Chains A and B, each alone.
Chain A
Amino acid sequence: MNTLKGYPVGLIENFDLYAPKLVDREEYFSPGHRACQGCGEALAIRLMCKALGKDTVIVNATGCMEVISSMYPTTAWKLPWIHVAFPNAAAVASGVDAALKALHRKGRIPDRYVKTVAIGGDGGTVDIGLQALSGAMERGHDMLYVCFDNEAYMNTGIQRSSATPFGASTTTAPAGVASMGNKTWKKNVPEIMVAHNIPYVATACQSYPLDFMNKVQKARAIKGPSYIHCLSVCPTGWRCPSEACIKMGRLAVETGVFPLYEVENGKYRMTVSMPEKLRPIQDYMKHQGRFRHLTPDQIKIFQERTNLEYKKLLNKIEHSKSWAEMSAE
């Protein structure tokens, strides 16, 4: 049962064993929320809130997290929280940021920095929410946007999104005799965010809690736009056992499917060191029912494309320079 067995790479270099004892014990996301057992996204939210602290306003798009946490007349949130609609988390957050700025300037709220954080699933971010996200990032609002990517429209029943990986079976792009499931490659939204020239973009995963929390704190400290794309394992939608939630995230990283990196002012850096040789993607796929139907040929295509995307990333990590460095040249 223990994930340590059979791993070529020890966990210690990426995970300080006793570090959880140093994490703030305050819980800002109370138990009693209605997430599925073993929900990676709920865990990610809990970790994110710990890293943000209490001087935060959360703007939530419609989705799993909004629905399971805010069933009137109760709420799991101990932070100020607002939900408006599905495509507009970034737009609502733009308004919150502007209001806090104006009210602070006019002395109508206490003189203390309060961070605006917008959160949404892959549905509310990479598809229907992309316009608002792009607008907010382009305008340079002081806000952090965290996308909790469980790779499909999970809340409405596991429908395909543009973040759904190649070959995954979803309810609107199901596997069948005439179809292999999702035919397209995952949309690279972190790259889109880098193209908006914002100071900080990162990928994260709830299976690497300290890496994720460090990134959240780094982003929180930036007085400008920042974006974190957090892979959130969904045992229900990915069709794996609930206890394998953390393991799936690790496998996603170690197979190169979802490397964890950050882009700080244009400079790419891997934040969780990768194995010398990537694990084969079968290691990742074999545990998940959504990939069960794939043929060896299709897996080969996935493997080759994963290798290519990983190479692209390594290339950027090796050759990218920070903007400050480039201006000084």
Chain B
Amino acid sequence: MANKKWPENWQDVTPGCIVSEPGSASQYHTGDWRAQKPIWDNTKCIKCGVCYIFCPEGCIIEKEDGFFEADLDYCKGCGICAHECWPLAIKMVEEG
């Protein structure tokens, strides 16, 4: 939880612990969790978008050229994208 910023004092806690910054969870980089990461082989990729749609994190981005990659700040290395890829264009590779 190194990225978390706790309010300094009780006076800084918002009323009712409301969070008014939508999507602020993205301050926390879940990418630190993973043991393996997905690597795309764009020679095999057919740009179908199945990996994009099945990512529970929503961290697979379509690049300008139409190919896909995972945002490694958030990818937890679950392996769903590699498992679901039709032409087997994604491989899970050990981290580190």
Determine the chain B residues whose CB is within 8 A of the CB of A113 once the complex forms.
Answer: none
Nearest chain A CB to B15's CB is how many angstroms away? 12
Determine the chain B residues whose CB is within 8 A of the CB of A242 once the complex forms.
Answer: 78-80
Size range of the interface on B? 35 or more
Interface secondary structure of A, over-half rule: loop
- In Å, the complex CA distance between A306 and B51 comes to 32
Determine the chain B residues whose CB is within 8 A of the CB of A18 once the complex forms.
Answer: 48-49
Q: How many A-B residue pairs have CB under 8 A?
A: 136
Determine the chain B residues whose CB is within 8 A of the CB of A25 once the complex forms.
Answer: 62
Are the C-beta atoms of A246 and B54 separated by less than 8 Å?
A: yes
The digit string for A123-145, where 1 denotes a CB below 8 A from any CB of B, is 00000000000000000000000
Interface secondary structure of B, over-half rule: loop
- In Å, the complex CA distance between A272 and B61 comes to 28
Best-surrounded residue of B4, B30, B59, B84 (most CB of chain A within 10 A): B84
- In Å, the complex CA distance between A37 and B83 comes to 14
Which residues, 34 to 70 on A, are CB-close (under 8 Å) to B?
34-35, 37-40, 42-43, 46-47, 69-70
Are the C-beta atoms of B30 and A243 separated by less than 8 Å?
A: no
Determine the chain B residues whose CB is within 8 A of the CB of A3 once the complex forms.
Answer: 83-84
- In Å, the complex CA distance between A31 and B84 comes to 20
Known: A31-B71, A38-B78, A42-B57. A2 touches B26 (CB 8 A): no
Are the C-beta atoms of A74 and B21 separated by less than 8 Å?
A: yes
Determine the chain B residues whose CB is within 8 A of the CB of A27 once the complex forms.
Answer: 58
Known: A1-B83, A4-B86, A242-B80. A21 touches B23 (CB 8 A): no
Size range of the interface on A? 35 or more
Residue of B nearest to A69 (CB): B25
**Among B26, B79, B84, which residue has its beta carbon within 8 angstroms of that of A241?**
B79
- In Å, the complex CA distance between A30 and B59 comes to 9
Known: A1-B82, A2-B88, A72-B17. A209 touches B58 (CB 8 A): no
Asked if A20 is at the interface of the complex by the 8 Å CB criterion, the answer is yes
**Among A1, A31, A243, which residue has its beta carbon within 8 angstroms of that of B57?**
A31
Asked if B2 is at the interface of the complex by the 8 Å CB criterion, the answer is no
Determine the chain B residues whose CB is within 8 A of the CB of A243 once the complex forms.
Answer: 78-80, 82-83, 92
- In Å, the complex CA distance between A247 and B92 comes to 17
- In Å, the complex CA distance between A17 and B56 comes to 19
Determine the chain B residues whose CB is within 8 A of the CB of A246 once the complex forms.
Answer: 54, 80, 83-84
Residue of A nearest to B77 (CB): A37
Determine the chain B residues whose CB is within 8 A of the CB of A245 once the complex forms.
Answer: 56, 78, 80
**Among A2, A47, A71, A247, which residue has its beta carbon within 8 angstroms of that of B85?**
A2
Are the C-beta atoms of A32 and B74 separated by less than 8 Å?
A: yes
Asked if A76 is at the interface of the complex by the 8 Å CB criterion, the answer is yes
Nearest chain B CB to A144's CB is how many angstroms away? 21
Are the C-beta atoms of A74 and B27 separated by less than 8 Å?
A: yes
Nearest chain A CB to B50's CB is how many angstroms away? 6
**Among B22, B30, B52, B77, which residue has its beta carbon within 8 angstroms of that of A32?**
B30
- In Å, the complex CA distance between A80 and B64 comes to 31
Determine the chain B residues whose CB is within 8 A of the CB of A73 once the complex forms.
Answer: 5-7, 14, 17, 19, 24
**Among A39, A78, A241, which residue has its beta carbon within 8 angstroms of that of B56?**
A39
Known: A2-B85, A75-B24, A242-B78. A17 touches B58 (CB 8 A): no
15 residue pairs bridging A and B, Cβ less than 8 Å apart: A4-B86, A17-B48, A17-B86, A29-B58, A32-B28, A32-B29, A33-B25, A35-B56, A42-B57, A72-B19, A75-B23, A241-B79, A242-B80, A243-B79, A243-B82
Q: What are the 4 tightest A-B residue pairs by CB atom distance, in nearest-first order?
A: A243-B79, A20-B49, A38-B78, A31-B74
